[in-house]
Amino acid sequence: MNLWTSAEIASATGGTASQEFEVSGVAFDSREVGPSDLFVAMQGEVTDGHRFLPQAFAQGAAGAIVSGSCEGPHVRVADSFAALQALGRASRARTEARVIGVTGSVGKTSAKEALYAALERSNHDRVHRSVKSYNNHTGVPLSLARMPQGSVYGVFEMGMNHAGEIAELTRMVRPHVAIVTAIAPAHIEFFDSIEGIADAKAEIFQGLEPGGVAIVPFDSPHRDRLASAARAHAERVVTFGTGKGADVWARDAMRLPTGGTFVTAVMGEGRELSFTVAQPGEHWVSNALAVLAAVDAVGADLGQAGLALAEMGGLPGRGARSLVAVDGGQALVIDESYNANAASMRASLKVLAHEPGRKIAVLGEMRELGAQSEQLHAELADPIAGASVETALLVGEAMEPLARALEGRVNIVHVRDAATALDRLKAVLAPGDAVLVKGSNGVGLSRVVAALEGGV
């Protein structure tokens, strides 16, 4: 399907096309280029994308955006990164889709994927969302540039680790609905306080379209701060939460034998919706309520959204569950290896607590915590013990305060890296075990999961 013509790309970016061509996709990572894609060759901090032009064309690229020499079909611009941003803005300008923006310290990717599933169920092939965690200054314009013009809905994730970053992204996305999932001390190394994080997340409301809706967490201690920031830009502020008082709240939430939750949600104005959240954990109930609030705000089908939540499986690195072979049987692996902060660690440990069998927690250090790192790591001791974890396999130097806090409470194995963690885990893993694998992405615990799934 045609996404952009060379003439449209040139017009959007102010560039010059070498010849006519059409593309059906956009990529800036040469490893992701497929047939008929547009490859955006950008100068990065480590390498220059122009070096990979031959590879991109060999993989089927139909054209490229370049600021240097290129032998294949291309649009030449002064700055490839600025051109990508311009292409994203042009995509947003030409669509009539209802757009939803999502941010938060935890849960934003899960909420984005759940929103996509909820909307896609009744709008097949007409819902677009950012893939992976493409939520920064390059990922957001890329995701926008990939949106087909005929999309009915667009769902975009926005992240940050410094103030001002979301403000720039949201003015590019221009959402009709903006969600903040939760506030937690993620990236607090770059902020003076958690209130500063709340303010940075609240920047998402600055890009709201006229008549826009802001969705904020009722149960958060930062609710009023978020709502106040939202009112300056939103026509309406909607709260979601697990208790009465929120605009969208869970009147009943019953844990099911499957690990999921059966929820009866009050949607305001006397409306109720009963549905199942397939994914285990109280945090997923909160995510689901935010999703339903957004679905309602854009006028989409709530019943179909409820069915989608019941069918949604775990995401790789964010709750995916698999049974892996061990000598004499199988063990359960809960893959939360993509990222970690204090709030998400606690939520994942609560999920582990409900699993049968011996419980093993493979936990990587939490990064970008600054001066609070030692305290936030040590404070995980009670949640670990409370989850009846038998063995805590701690990975990374920053885990030392937690190792000290756990002494005498659980079995502790403290190692420096993921490779050593895998070796130690293999030595103790037995049939019937439940293993949680979670840590900051840079720790590399995804390799532990991949190795287990490939056969211990």
Annotated binding-site positions? 104-110
d(CA 343, CA 355) in angstroms, rounded, equals: 20
Residues 6+ apart with CB under 8 A from 79: 67
Q: Which helix (H) or strand (E) holds 392?
A: strand 391-395
- CA atoms 255, 259, 262, 263: torsion sign: positive
Give the single-character DSSP code of 368: S
User: Which stretches within 238-372 are classed as H helix?
Assistant: 282-297, 302-311, 342-353
> How many residues in the chain?
456
Query: Do 393 and 361 meet the contact criterion of CB atoms below 8 Å apart?
Result: yes
Give the pair of three-digit tokens for residue 181.
């999932």
Annotated binding-site positions for ATP? 104-110
Q: With DSSP H G I counted as helix, E B as strand and the rest as coil, what are the percentages for the chain, rounded to 5?
A: 40, 25, 35
Give the pair of three-digit tokens for residue 224.
């009023």
Q: Which amino acid is at 419?
A: A
Q: What's phi and psi for 443, nearest 5 deg?
A: -70, -30
Between the alpha carbon of residue 424 and those of residues 82, 336, 370, 393, 437, the distances in Å are 47, 19, 29, 8, 13
37 class by beta-carbon count within 10 Å (0-12 exposed, 13-18 middle, 19+ buried): buried
Cα angle, residue 355 at apex, residues 241 and 378 outer, rounded to 5°: 70
d(CA 120, CA 116) in angstroms, rounded, equals: 6
